[in-house]
Chain A
Amino acid sequence: MAYSIVVVGTSWGGLNALRELVGSLPADFRIPTVLVQHRHRQSDHLLSTFLQERTTLSVTEVEDKMPIEAGTLFVAPADYHLLVDRGVFSLSTDPPVRYSRPSIDVTFFSAADAYAAATIGVILTGANSDGSRGLRRIFDRGGLALVQEPTTAESPTMPTAAIRCVPDARVATISQISAMLVEAAKEGEGSSRPPRMRDDGSQNAARHVAPPGNA
Chain B
Amino acid sequence: MAVPVTQGKALTGPPVAYNSDLERLEIELLLEGIFRHYGFDFRSYAYASIRRRLWKRIEAEGLRTISELQARVLHDPEMMERLLLDLSVNVTAMFRDPGFYLAFRQIAIPLLRTWPFIRIWHAGCSTGEEVYSMAILLHEEGLYDRARIYATDINDVVLQQAKAGIFPLNRMQEYTENYIRAGGKQSFSEYYTAKYDGALFSPSLTRNIVFSQHNLVTDRSFSEFNVIFCRNVLIYFDRELQDHVHALFYESLSMFGVLALGSKETLRFSKYEPCYEKLHAREKMYRKVK
B222 at the interface (CB under 8 A from A): no
Question: Given A64-B266, A77-B264, A213-B59: A90 and B49 within 8 A (CB)?
Answer: yes
When each residue 17-35 of chain B gets 1 if its CB lies under 8 Å from chain A and 0 otherwise, what string results?
A: 1111111000000000000
Q: Identify which of A106, A114, A215 contacts B20 (C-beta below 8 A).
A: A114
The verdict on A20 contacting chain B, using a C-beta distance below 8 Å, is no
CB distance from A166 to the nearest CB of B (A): 17
Which residues of chain B have C-beta atoms less than 8 A from A200's C-beta?
19-21
Query: A206 and B59 in contact (CB under 8 A), knowing A84-B48, A92-B236?
Result: no
* Chain A 193-215: CB-based contact to B (< 8 A → 1; otherwise 0): 00000101110111001111111
The number of residues on chain B lying at the interface, defined by a beta carbon within 8 Å of a beta carbon of chain A, is 44
Does A167 make an interface contact (CB < 8 A)? no
Question: How far, in whole Å, are A202 and B266 apart by their CA atoms in the complex?
Answer: 36
B90's nearest neighbour on chain A, judged by CB, is A93
- Rounded to whole angstroms, the CA-CA distance of A61 and B266 in the bound complex is 13
Task: Find chain A residues with CB under 8 A from B236 CB.
Answer: 90, 92
In the assembled complex, the CB of B103 is this many whole angstroms from the nearest CB of chain A, namely 13
Within 8 A of B (CB), among A121-171: 140-142
CB distance from A197 to the nearest CB of B (A): 12
Convert A172-210 into 0s and 1s, putting 1 for each residue whose CB lies closer than 8 angstroms to a CB of B: 000000000000000000000000001011101110011
A202 & B17 in contact (Cβ 8 Å cutoff) = yes
A92's nearest neighbour on chain B, judged by CB, is: B49
- B52 proximal to A (CB < 8 A): yes
B residues apposed to A, CB below 8 Å: 2, 14-23, 46-49, 51-53, 55-56, 59, 64, 90-92, 96-99, 181, 232, 234-236, 238-239, 242, 262-266, 268-269
